[in-house]
Amino acid sequence: MRLLIVEDDEMLRDGLVVGLRLAGFTADAVATCADADQALVIGGFDGMVLDLMLPDGSGLGVLARLRARGSTLPVLLLTARDRSRDRVTGLDAGADDYLGKPFDLPELAARLRAILRRGEGRAAARMDWNGLSLDPARMEGHIAGRAVRFSRREFTILQALMERPGTILGKPALEERLYGWQEDVESNTVEVHIHNLRFKLGAAFIETVRGVGYRLAGAA
């Protein structure tokens, strides 16, 4: 699995290269949009990790040009923490996933494996649990033969839960996933979204672990 890493911060770039190699990938790195474009034209990559803030422009440009050439190469965006707008824009521009900085290397590796699998067409991106089939690309799911649509926040929470069925995710962890790292939400947003998810999926689908967090029910 050969990856192209596009990141201008030298320390972070080197860290990514080393870390992803340890995780079993082959990683090449460039620091600018221009170099990225050139590397992509030459090709041979199975996926790309793309920073948005680059010295000679936005990574979105690189992504747009790539897609304009008809490529379906799996792309994971690295976004600054407060720029949630960028994430939406990025997904619209054809990214397969995004991750806020700073991030956890194991999580990055896991997500990369996920989108790479998708690229291979080996396994659908679909996640299944307890009769719910989730389609990340369309941000919707099917349960009991009926299509269910989710809002962005709802979907983010549900996806986080479905990535590790049965494991407990605390409210802080879910908030971290919803917002970047340090936007403080002095409220019960997560509770409300959980409530709305239950309304759509059935009350028993998500289980509460009092004082700890939430998890998908049905784990033996």
Which residues form the interface with its own copies (CB under 8 A)?
A: 24, 102, 104, 106-107, 109-111, 113-114, 117-118, 121, 137-139, 147, 151-152, 164, 166-168, 172-173, 176, 181-182, 184, 209-212, 215, 219-220
Residue 191, interface with DNA (CB under 7 A)? yes
To the nearest whole angstrom, how small is the minimum distance from the Cβ of residue 37 to its own copies?
Answer: 30
To the nearest whole angstrom, how small is the minimum distance from the Cβ of residue 104 to its own copies?
Answer: 6
Answer whether the bond into residue 102 is a cis peptide, omega within 30°. yes
- Selected range binding DNA among 31-39, 49-57, 63-71, 183-191, rule: CB under 7 A: 183-191
- Which contacts (CB < 8 Å, 24+ apart) does range 188-191 have? 189/153, 190/157
Residue 182, interface with DNA (CB under 7 A)? no
In the three-class reduction of DSSP (H, G, I as helix; E, B as strand; rest coil), residue 86 is classed as helix
Pick from 163, 77, 159, 73: which is nearest to 119 by CA?
73
To the nearest whole angstrom, how small is the minimum distance from the Cβ of residue 85 to its own copies?
Answer: 16
Closest to its own copies by CB, 37 vs 96, is: 96
To the nearest whole angstrom, how small is the minimum distance from the Cβ of residue 9 to DNA?
Answer: 28
Q: Which residues pair with 28 in a beta bridge?
A: 4
Closest to its own copies by CB, 28 vs 107, is: 107
How do 75-79 and 97-100 pair as beta strands? parallel
To the nearest whole angstrom, how small is the minimum distance from the Cβ of residue 21 to DNA?
Answer: 10
In the three-class reduction of DSSP (H, G, I as helix; E, B as strand; rest coil), residue 43 is classed as coil
Token duo for residue 161: 């839960």
Q: Which does 85 bind (CB under 5 to 8 A by kind): DNA, its own copies, none?
A: DNA
Sequence-ordered strand ranges (E) for the chain: 2-6, 26-30, 47-51, 53-54, 57-58, 75-79, 97-100, 127-129, 132-135, 140-143, 146-149, 206-209, 213-216
Residue 151, interface with DNA (CB under 7 A)? yes
Closest to DNA by CB, 12 vs 117, is: 117
